[in-house]
Amino acid sequence: MGKRKVEVQRVDDPRILRPRDCIVKITSTAICSSDIHLYNGYIPTLEKGDILGHEFMGEVVEIGPQVKTLKVGDRVVVPFTISCGKCTHCVRQQYSVCDNTNPNWHVAETAMGFPPAGILGYSHMTGGYAGGQAQYARVPHADVGPIKIENDLPDDKVLFLSDIFPTGYMAAEACDIVPGQSVVAVWGCGPVGQFAIRSAFLLGAAKVIRIDSLPERRAMAEAAGALTIHSGMDVMEELKALTGGRGPDASIDAVGMEAHGSAYDQVRQTLKMETDRPFALRQAIRCTRKAGIVSVPGVYGGFIDKVPMGAAMNKGLTFRMGQTHMQKYMKPLLKLIEGGKIDPSFVVTHRVPLSKAAKAYPLFVEKKDKCIKVVLDPAA
Partner 1 sequence: MAIAESNIRPTATVRARAGKNYSRAKIAVPGNRGIKVVQAVTIRKPAAELYAFWRDLPNLMQVINHPVSITALSPDESHWSVSAPAGKRVEWDALIINDVTDCLIAWRSRDGAEVQNAGSVRFEAAPGDEGTEVTVALEYNPPGGKLGAMVAKLTRDSAGSQVYDALRRFKALMETGEIPTIKGQPVGGPQRGQKGKK
Q: What CA–CA distances, in Å, run from 111 to 77, 116, 128, 301, 355?
A: 31, 11, 15, 10, 35
Min separation Cβ 122 and partner 1, Å: 12
Phi-psi region of 369 (alpha: psi -120 to 50; beta: other; left: phi over 0): left
Determine if 103 is a binding residue for partner 1 (CB under 8 A): yes
DSSP annotation of 120 reads B
What does the angle CA 228 – CA 176 – CA 32 come to, to the nearest 5 degrees?
55
Cα distance between residue 158 and residue 165, in whole Å? 9
CA 103 to chain centre: 22
CB of 92: closest distance to partner 1 in angstroms?
Answer: 9
Q: How far is the CB of 44 from partner 1 (least distance, A)?
A: 17
Decide: is 288 part of the binding site for partner 1 (CB under 8 A).
no
- 99 touches partner 1 (CB under 8 A): yes
From candidates 122, 129, 201, 279, binder to partner 1 by CB under 8 A: 129
Interface stretch with partner 1, choices 86-94, 216-224, 272-280, 299-307 (CB under 8 A): 86-94
In the set 48, 179, 310, 313, which binds partner 1 (CB under 8 A)?
A: 48
According to CB under 8 A, which one of 29, 34, 81, 101 is a site residue for partner 1? 101
Helices 164-173 and 191-202 cross at an angle (nearest 10°) of: 50
20-39 footprint of partner 1 as x/- string (CB under 8 A): x-------------------
Q: Please work out, in degrees rounded to the nearest 5, the angle formed at the alpha carbon of residue 252 by the alpha carbons of 335 and 37.
A: 90
Footprint of partner 1 on 133-172 (CB under 8 A): 134, 138, 140-141
334, with CB counted inside 10 A (0-12, 13-18, 19+), is buried
Q: Is residue 214 within the footprint of partner 1 (CB under 8 A)?
A: no
Q: Which stretch binds partner 1 (CB under 8 A): 94-102, 276-284, 328-336, 368-376?
A: 94-102
Which class for 82: exposed (0-12), middle (13-18), buried (19 or more C-beta within 10 A)?
buried
Q: Least separation, in Å, of the C-beta of 142 and partner 1?
A: 12
- Where are the alpha helices (H) located in the chain, listed in sequence order? 33-39, 88-91, 105-112, 155-158, 164-173, 191-202, 215-223, 235-242, 263-270, 279-287, 309-314, 326-338, 357-365
Q: Does 100 bind partner 1 (CB under 8 A)?
A: yes
CB 89 to partner 1: min, Å: 10
For residues 128 and 248, which CB has a smaller minimum distance to partner 1 in the complex?
128
Q: How many residues touch partner 1 (CB under 8 A)?
A: 45
Q: Rule CB under 8 A: which residues touch partner 1? A: 1-2, 5, 7-9, 11-15, 17-20, 48-51, 66, 82, 84-88, 91, 99-103, 105-106, 118, 127-130, 134, 138, 140-141, 355, 358
